[in-house]
């Protein structure tokens, strides 16, 4: 008998940063497997395009910044009002800027810290009660390989990713006996809109060596498909061309 993966049909998955890159790829792959997705990002026009692509019977959205508690609570409410429950949350919204710790304005640095860390914490806090109520669920946090070792031009960014790693570790210890699994997906550089014009340039040759959004989304799907008797916690990814740090 072959190994039995979970059937994800009608599972309800909340995804932040859902209009491009890893978040959009994950939404597409999950809907292909029969999931219902609740999408969050700042850009309402793009969210509407995603829902039109995926189908209103499969997807809904709330526009706004998930680092604002009321926005995260609105996302959770939309999931329950539309699809009746929450089975998984994928905190994926992220901002990156490369350079010295002294580069960029106070507002830009604060936005990166809030989006990457506070956005993770608040969407987890908003969605977790629905999973605890039924003693089953998944939290799959999209962090970064920089969460374990940051490079010389990413001190603040790496700090936010270290924060996600620390948060996920403690959360796993808090929730695993309550039926909620916590996993970290930590990719190396991925070919997305991330950090464009603040450290990366669209179309630069090195992007051909990066991971693809679908590579990372596939790992998210596989974590969710694991039988509930299994929990895995840290998934790190590099393309075949990227050296481990």
Which tens digits make up the pLDDT trace of 53-73? 999 999 999 999 999 999 999
- Reported confidence tier of residue 193, pLDDT bands at 50, 70, 90: low
CB of 22 within 8 A of CB of 192? yes
| pLDDT value of position 1 | 62
**Above pLDDT 90, what percent of the chain?**
83
| pLDDT value of position 35 | 98
Domains in the chain, please, with CATH? 12-237 (3.40.50.720)
Question: What confidence tens digit (pLDDT) does each residue in 10-39 have?
Answer: 999 999 999 999 999 999 999 999 999 999
| pLDDT value of position 181 | 98
| pLDDT value of position 59 | 98
Strand partners, 234: 184
Rounded Cα distance between 237 and 216, Å, is 8
Rounded Cα distance between 169 and 183, Å, is 9
Q: Would the pLDDT of 244 be above 80?
A: no
**Distance from CA of residue 16 to its chain's centroid?**
6
| Residue 214 CB coordination number (10 Å) | 15
Question: What confidence tens digit (pLDDT) does each residue in 86-136 have?
Answer: 999 999 999 988 889 999 999 999 999 999 999 999 999 999 999 999 999
Provide the mean pLDDT of the chain: 93
Report which of 166, 189, 168, 185 is spatially closest to residue 223, judged by C-alpha positions.
185
| pLDDT value of position 29 | 98
- Listed in order, strand segments (DSSP E) in 44-161 are 59-63, 88-90, 137-142
| pLDDT value of position 41 | 97
Q: Which two tokens stand for residue 11?
A: 């599972």
CB of 141 within 8 A of CB of 183? yes
- Reported confidence tier of residue 245, pLDDT bands at 50, 70, 90: low
Residues acting as catalytic residues? 157
pTM of the model: 0.94
């Amino acid at each position: 008998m072959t190994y039995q993966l979970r059937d994800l049909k009608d599972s309800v998955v909340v995804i932040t940063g859902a209009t491009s890159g890893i978040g959009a790829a994950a939404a597409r792959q999950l809907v292909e497997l029969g999931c219902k997705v609740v999408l969050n990002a700042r850009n309402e026009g793009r969210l509407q395009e995603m829902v039109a692509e995926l189908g209103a019977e499969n997807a809904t959205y709330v526009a706004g910044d998930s680092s604002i508690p009321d926005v995260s609570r609105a996302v959770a409410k939309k999931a329950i009002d539309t699809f009746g429950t929450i089975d998984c949350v994928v905190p994926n919204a992220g901002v990156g800027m490369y350079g010295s710790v002294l580069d960029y304005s106070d507002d830009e640095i604060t936005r990166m810290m809030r989006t990457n860390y506070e956005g993770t914490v608040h969407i987890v806090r908003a969605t977790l009660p629905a999973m605890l109520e039924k003693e089953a669920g998944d939290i799959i946090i999209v962090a970064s390989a920089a969460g374990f070792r940051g490079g010389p031009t990413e001190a603040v960014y790496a700090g936010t990713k270290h924060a996600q790693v620390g948060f996920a570790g403690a959360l796993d210890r808090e929730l695993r006996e309550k039926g909620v699994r916590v996993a970290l997906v930590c990719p190396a550089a991925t070919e997305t809109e991330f950090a464009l014009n603040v450290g990366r340039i669209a179309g630069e040759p090195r992007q051909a060596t990066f991971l693809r959004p679908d590579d990372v989304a596939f790992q998210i799907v596989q974590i969710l498909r694991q039988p509930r008797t299994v929990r895995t916690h840290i998934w790190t990814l590099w393309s075949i061309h990227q050296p481990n740090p």
